Amino acid sequence: MSTLSIPRRTPKRVLPGFKLTLGYTLLYLSVIVLIPLSALIFKTFTLTWDQFVLAVSSPRVMASYRLTFGASLIAATVNAVFGLLVAWVLVRYQFPGKKIIDALVDLPFALPTAVAGISLTALLASNGWVGSLLEPYGVQLAFNRNGVVIALIFIGLPFVVRTVQPVLEDAEKELEEAATCLGATRLQTFWHVIFPTIAPALLTGFAMAFARAIGEYGSVIFIAGNMPMISEITPLIIIGKLEQYDYAGATAVAVVLLVISFALLLVINALQAWQRRRNGASS
């Protein structure tokens, strides 16, 4: 008895094949990311090495580096702590007005950065609602480095909340209950059960908030005071060089900013990969 062989039909994919989609991906990334960054680097090559070093290492530029990266690191760290707290409350508790608070988290995404800067300045200046209360005690939050950090915290919070929140929602509560039944304290349960699960997402949110803070301009210039050597951020240095038609000098500073940011993101991504391998090995 002969059996008829039925030809196999390959399932139709929703999207085209791998080669075509990969080609579109590379083309899109090249047009949007690689070509503009390449133009930035090639423009820098018009400078000699001595001119490049002079453009990127002047005292005023170095002071802006310290403020930009230092304030961005502080803001991202604060957002990592309080962003985790906000995500925890939104996921684990039910309370009146929860949807409103959840929507307010995304407000820095939708709000124009200039509007955010003006709002923070009106609030924290010496004649503002908060600034007027702190002024008698000699505390100034606007027109100095404190204002830069506050503005960067404001624009970076959603990145941490929105990356940690879905991971917390998918976390298995049975593991927490098992740890509690075995006698673990709340701190032990969080550190050994919950934190390893959310650590990669928390690092991702930290990296995104840090990278966003480094390039922030609109919300900072209104509240920073923009005093050279004191409260002047690196993006403002770049804008100033462009206004003086020093395009090569502006691109040189931008390239330094780009290289340092990219290196830090690579380090954080490596830490994320190590954390995932560690979690996989332990499970």
Model confidence pLDDT, tens digit, residues 111-144: 888 888 899 999 998 888 898 888 888 888 888 8
Confidence at residue 69, expressed as pLDDT on a 0 to 100 scale:
93
pLDDT above 60 for 3:
no
9 three-class SS: coil
pLDDT above 70 for 279:
no
Contact 131, 142 (CB under 8 A): yes
Contact 154, 116 (CB under 8 A): yes
36: confidence class by pLDDT, cuts 50, 70, 90? confident
77: confidence class by pLDDT, cuts 50, 70, 90? very high
CA 186, chain centre distance (Å): 29
Residue located via tokens 């003086």: 244
Supply 95's token pair: 């309370």
The single-letter code of the amino acid at 75 is A
CATH 3.30.420.40 fits 46-282, yes or no: no
pLDDT above 60 for 5:
no
15: confidence class by pLDDT, cuts 50, 70, 90? low
Helices (H), the chain: 18-29, 35-44, 49-56, 59-92, 98-105, 107-110, 113-124, 131-134, 145-170, 173-181, 186-189, 195-214, 218-224, 234-243, 247-282
Distance, CA of 154 to CA of 76 (rounded, Å): 10
Per-residue pLDDT reduced to its tens digit, 166-219:
988 887 777 777 877 877 888 888 888 888 888 888 988 998 899 889 989 988
Q: Mean pLDDT across the stretch 91-106?
A: 90
Confidence at residue 126, expressed as pLDDT on a 0 to 100 scale:
87
Cα torsion angle, 11, 12, 16, 20, sign: positive
The single-letter code of the amino acid at 111 is L
Q: For the chain, which residues make up each domain, given as ranges?
A: 46-282
Q: Tell me whether residue 71 is exposed, middle or buried, using C-beta atoms within 10 angstroms of its C-beta: 0 to 12, 13 to 18, 19 or more.
A: buried
Between 160-169, 198-207, 268-277, the lowest mean confidence (pLDDT) is in 268-277
Q: What does each C-alpha distance from 188 to 62, 64, 100, 179 come to in angstroms? A: 43, 41, 32, 9
Q: Mean pLDDT across the stretch 42-53?
A: 89
Other CB atoms closer than 10 Å to residue 224's CB: what's the count? 26
pLDDT above 70 for 13:
no
Q: Tell me whether residue 141 is exposed, middle or buried, using C-beta atoms within 10 angstroms of its C-beta: 0 to 12, 13 to 18, 19 or more.
A: buried
pLDDT above 60 for 10:
no
